[in-house]
Each structure stands twice: as C-alpha cells, then as structure tokens.
Structure 1
Amino acid sequence: MKNIAVLTSGGDSPGMNAAIRAVVRKGLYHQLNVFGVYRGYQGLIENDLKEMKVHSVADIIQRGGTILYTARSEEFRTPEGQRKAVDNLKNNGIEGLIVIGGDGSFRGSMELAKLGIRVIGIPGTIDNDIPGTDQTIGFDTAVNTVISLIDKIRDTASSHDRTFIVEVMGRSAGDIAVRAGLAGGAESIIIPERDFDYDDITDRLMKGHNRGKKHSIIIVAEGIGSGEAIAERIKQSTGLDTRVTVLGHVQRGGSPTAYDRWLASLMGGKAVDLLLNNQSGLMVSIVNQNIVGVPFEQAFSEKPKIDLDAYELSKILSI
C-alpha cells in the first residue's frame, strides 16, 4: 500500500481534526502518501483531493470542526454517484480510505467496500449513538459544553426563581442529556429511551418549590420532542415561571477536551494500522479502554446503548 485518503462526513464534532492529524502523521511515518478529501463524499465525487504533508496538520489538534470540511451528498446515495467516487479513488491510486463520521457515513463506507475499496471508519459524532464503541469522538466535549452552559443558566434561574427547560442535541439518543443532567445536577431528565410522566416531573418541581428551592433545571433530549411544548405544559400544571433554552449547534463547536484529543489520536493511528494490515469494512472502536476494530455490521445490527443506571441515579440525587 502506498496511497491512502481521509475524509470527514456528516455532522462535525470536536476532535475530528485530531483524528485527521493522527491519520496523516501515522501514514507519513509509514512512508505512505496521504490525501485529504474535502467536503466528504461530495468532494470524493468531484475529485476534490489534495496530498497532505506534515505541515498540513500542524496546529490543528486543539481546533474544533474539521479542516477537510464536511457536507451531505444526495448524489452519493445513488449508484452513479458511488461509481464516480470509486473511479476517482482508483484514478488517484488511492488504495485505502479512512472515513470519520457517524452511522450514515459508515453506510456510505460499506457501499464503497462492496465496490472494492478498502475502507476503515472512525466514529466522530457528538451524539454517541453508534453501537460497537463505548464512546465516539466529540461526545465528551459536547457534554462539557452543556455543563458549562447549565452552570450559567442555573445562576440566572436562581436569581429569578425560575424553572428552566434546557433542550440538548443528540438526535434520537439521550446520551448527552443523561451525562450532562447527572453532572449538572438537573432535577429531571427527559430522554427518548424512557417514558416520562408529567405528574412525576411536576410533583418533584412542586416539592422543591414548597421547601424553598429557588430554581430547577430540566434537561430535555431533542429526540423526545419540543422543549417549548414541554415547558408550556409544566407551566400550566404548576404555575411556575418557566423558560426554555435550546442550546443548538453550540454543542458541536469549540476546542476538544483532552479526552477527545486522546481518543481521536488513538483511533486515527489504529485506522492506519488496520489498512496496513489489509483490513477493510471495520470501524475503530474503544471497548473497555482498548482500541479495536469491529465490523461495520455491528454498528448497524445492534441498538445504541445508554447508561440507564446513571439516569436512575440522577432522579435519586435530585430529591
């Protein structure tokens, strides 16, 4: 193997640049030519590739986002688009491709693998919703961002004797909500993985209010529905001054935490090793603190796991 390429696809997540850096420099260490593909699969279709050197990834380990940019490509979903991507890889002499992204990105990777391209995936998404790995790149940073904002919201909530509904990202997964809710001392956490009872939530709010509590924080995962609708129903049931904060895409930005930089570096290095060992169709994962390769099929056949023990503990600690 002489030539490999790396791209980022889907939503960006903090730590993607650290993973790109690891792929490029580990590849160069093994005397490979490493190409960066700009704008994900769309860039692959349009042959938007550039050879990367040591200096190409200098001073990026601390940067959020992705220097290779990312885009969603409807054309790549078609057989014609996939064939264009394969032709461009072959015409450039690319023998192995590393894809950093989420489950949608990996489904695209599987299609390339079926067409004869050697592909390895690295899980990069703040949602932490990919089975087969204990954690994804960007999740830790997103949680820390949410915690920082919850702390600020709590200050103003206490000053005005208010209940705040904080809506966090995560698509259909509640991992960010559970981790941030427990660490941020939320009174209630509402996630897609568990049914919730308005009466239980309002009873807990009123008990706290009646004993003199000056504020309450309720974390809502976006996959459960509208934070505004939940806030309105709570306000009607309790009469408490209730406000909503939708944190939005701020959770996807910012400098990655030390953990995400560490994880991204290990996963990037492992991805190169797997290609050099003639492996394909694998996702780099962290399982029980070990960096391993697992088949893409595992990421699609299993259901994402969530820490429900932490979820239950949060209810006990918020009494």
Structure 2
Amino acid sequence: MVKRIAVLTSGGDAPGMNAVIRAVVRKGIHHGFEVFGVQRGYEGVIQGDFHLMTDHSVGGIIQHGGTVLKTARSEAFKTEEGFAAALQQLKAHYIDYLVVIGGDGSMAGAAKLTEAGIATIVVPGTIDNDMAGTEYTIGFDTALNTVLEAVNKIRDTAASHERVAIVEVMGRSAGHIALMAGLACGAEAILLPEEPLDIGTVCERLIKSHSRGKLYSIILVAEGVAKGFDIAGEISAKTKFETHVTVLGYIQRGGNPTATDNIIASRMGAAAVDNILQDNVNQLIAWQQGQIVALPYDAAVKTKHGIDLSIYELAGILAR
C-alpha cells in the first residue's frame, strides 16, 4: 500500500505556514506518498476532516500569510474522549505519518500521539520565536518586519507632534519581538517579560534624551510585561511628555511572508519528509546555529531559546 502523510497547522497562525504545507505536499508526492491535509488542527483530526492533497492543491499559496488548512486550539483533544477519537480517525484514514506545524502546545500534542503509537514530525511555527528546542520559528521574521514598518510610520507622527510613542507588541512570556524590533527601530526603551525595565529609569532616559534635543521617543512594550496604556499613564504622571499608545495586535500575525520565512519554511517542510523517508520520526525539525536539525521531543523540551541579554544591553547603549 502507498504510505500516507497527513499535515496540519495548530495553535496561532504564522506567516510561512503555507510554505511548509506546500513543501510537505509536493515533496511527499514526489517520493510516492499520498498526502492529506487536515482542516483546523487537532480538532479536524477528531472530526475526521482529512482531504487528499495534490500538487495543484498548494499552487499559489506560498505568498500568502495565515494557513490554507485553517487552525484552531482544541480543548477536546486534551480530553480522554477527544484523544481517543483522534487516534481512531488517524487509524481509520490509514495515516502512517502526521506532520504538525505549530508551537509548544502543538508539539506536546504530537508527543502524546507518539506515545500512543502514531509516527509524528513537528515543524516550528509561531511568530513569538519562543518554542523549545529551536532558535528560530517560522513567522518570526515576518512579524518583526511588520512591527518595524508600523513603528517607522508611527515615528513620523511622534516626531511631528513631539510625543512619546508607546507601541505594544505580542509576547506574553517571551520578548523576542519587542527586543529585536526595538533594536531595529532604535527604540529609546524596550520592556520585556524577561528584563522588565523600571518605569522610573524609563522616564530618566526620556528626560535625558529630551535634554539633548530629541523631541520624540519610541518605547516598545511586550504585552506580557505591561499594557501600553498603563505605561503611558505612568510616564505622563512622572513627566510632562505627551504620550500616544498603539497596540499592534493581530496585525503582527498576518501579511505576506518575508523571503527569510518562506525559505526556512520550505526547507523545514522538505526536511520533515526527508526524516520520514529515513524513518527518523517523532522529532522536532529545529533551527540550531544556522542549520536544520532533527531533535527527539524529550530533548527539544529541555532546551529553551531565551533572549540574548547582550542584544538587550546593546539596544540600551545605542538608544542614548
């Protein structure tokens, strides 16, 4: 019988997921597999929402953000009944391998399926770049460029009105987006969950910057450390500066993927099929030191890619 691969996207969407789907489908077909797309992640597995994919199915999707397979967070999959239903559907559709594109929660689901005898492969996809086992996740570069483009436009208004522009970006538990976007845009202050900056110190920086003739400032705030409007209120109370808050929200998840994201996504999707061909399954396809590698799930979860404090210190020095 022809071997079958199923592919799904789970959790938050990220630009570049379509490039992974495209690579898995076309490389899988090239090597003689039947490839099925699962709609809406693990919820779709439970519901048996499997569809045979062809080369044509993934034509013209690489340049689009989001995911053509749709995505969802499935509470049912976490239950004993839901998990049992998912296993039954995978067996009923004769799925030999399941490729999961998503973050830590998605990998936890794949690891649970592995324990139940299903061969899985995980490709990291989340804009937050906070997934265990890998130094890069698909969607991060696009999100960074989206933030940078927005900040550059906000800067024009901040300069015209001589304001402190506070930009709240995504990052509940990890500040990778705020840190790297802050360095790229020259933010005067960056507030991260890992290194929260005292608001008094922020105000001192703003006052010193103003005394040197700079009449506007940019502050990047990761959502996990504080709300932008709370920071604005404290700055207004401690200084005479006028503040303006922009919460970027879901705009960071959307948009056409950058070349970097599509290139890495295509390579990771192809690597997922390569590992299946070698029967090197139950692995995370990871980015480490500029190379694509495969890590067993238990090894991956022991390695968390934190922020680089030297970059944080550099951003502070350059923002003077």
Into which bin does the TM-score normalised by the smaller protein fall?
over 0.9
State whether residues 134 and 305 of structure 2, in contact with CA within 8 Å, keep that contact through their aligned partners in structure 1.
Answer: no
Match of 2:140 in 1: 139
**Separation of aligned partners in 2, 1:279 and 1:303:** 22
Match of 1:96 in 2: 97
Match of 1:266 in 2: 267
State whether residues 12 and 70 of structure 1, in contact with CA within 8 Å, keep that contact through their aligned partners in structure 2.
Answer: yes
> Cα distance, 1:273 vs. partner?
1.2
Partner of 1:301: helix, strand, or coil?
coil
**Separation of aligned partners in 2, 1:63 and 1:175:** 23
State whether residues 161 and 214 of structure 1, in contact with CA within 8 Å, keep that contact through their aligned partners in structure 2.
Answer: yes
Partner of 1:165: helix, strand, or coil?
strand
Match of 1:182 in 2: 183
After alignment, is 259-268 or 78-87 more displaced? 78-87
Match of 1:237 in 2: 238
Match of 1:107 in 2: 108
**Separation of aligned partners in 2, 1:173 and 1:184:** 19
Segments of 5+ residues of structure 1 without an aligned counterpart are none
> Cα distance, 1:204 vs. partner?
0.8
Matched, 1:130 2:119: no
**Aligned-pair RMSD on alpha carbons?**
1.0
Partner of 1:166: helix, strand, or coil?
strand
> Cα distance, 1:201 vs. partner?
0.8
State whether residues 113 and 280 of structure 1, in contact with CA within 8 Å, keep that contact through their aligned partners in structure 2.
Answer: no
> Cα distance, 1:137 vs. partner?
0.1
- Identity across aligned pairs (percent)? 55
Match of 2:226 in 1: 225
Match of 1:70 in 2: 71
After alignment, is 300-309 or 119-128 more displaced? 300-309
**Separation of aligned partners in 2, 1:93 and 1:77:** 22
> Cα distance, 1:305 vs. partner?
1.4
Q: Deviations over 1:251-310 (max 9, x none)?
A: 000000000000000000001111122222211011112111012223423333112211
Match of 1:208 in 2: 209
State whether residues 36 and 51 of structure 1, in contact with CA within 8 Å, keep that contact through their aligned partners in structure 2.
Answer: yes
**Separation of aligned partners in 1, 2:284 and 2:232:** 40
**Separation of aligned partners in 2, 1:126 and 1:299:** 18
State whether residues 133 and 304 of structure 2, in contact with CA within 8 Å, keep that contact through their aligned partners in structure 1.
Answer: no
Segments of 5+ residues of structure 2 without an aligned counterpart are none
State whether residues 97 and 118 of structure 1, in contact with CA within 8 Å, keep that contact through their aligned partners in structure 2.
Answer: yes
Match of 1:308 in 2: 309
Q: Which amino acid aligns with 2:101?
A: I
State whether residues 133 and 302 of structure 2, in contact with CA within 8 Å, keep that contact through their aligned partners in structure 1.
Answer: no
Partner of 2:156: helix, strand, or coil?
helix
TM-score (norm 1): 0.98
Matched, 1:29 2:60: no
State whether residues 118 and 279 of structure 1, in contact with CA within 8 Å, keep that contact through their aligned partners in structure 2.
Answer: no
> Cα distance, 1:243 vs. partner?
1.1
> Cα distance, 1:67 vs. partner?
0.1
State whether residues 126 and 170 of structure 1, in contact with CA within 8 Å, keep that contact through their aligned partners in structure 2.
Answer: no
* Aligned positions, number: 319
**Separation of aligned partners in 1, 2:238 and 2:43:** 49
**Separation of aligned partners in 2, 1:113 and 1:47:** 19
> Cα distance, 1:3 vs. partner?
0.5
**Separation of aligned partners in 1, 2:74 and 2:41:** 8
Q: Which amino acid aligns with 1:304?
A: H
State whether residues 130 and 299 of structure 1, in contact with CA within 8 Å, keep that contact through their aligned partners in structure 2.
Answer: no
**Separation of aligned partners in 2, 1:234 and 1:185:** 19
**Separation of aligned partners in 2, 1:192 and 1:170:** 8
TM-score (norm 2): 0.98
State whether residues 82 and 111 of structure 1, in contact with CA within 8 Å, keep that contact through their aligned partners in structure 2.
Answer: no
Matches within 5 A, 1:2-17: 2-17=3-18
State whether residues 131 and 303 of structure 1, in contact with CA within 8 Å, keep that contact through their aligned partners in structure 2.
Answer: yes
Match of 2:299 in 1: 298
**Separation of aligned partners in 2, 1:307 and 1:131:** 15
Matches within 5 A, 1:192-207: 192-207=193-208
Q: Which amino acid aligns with 1:82?
A: F
Match of 1:60 in 2: 61
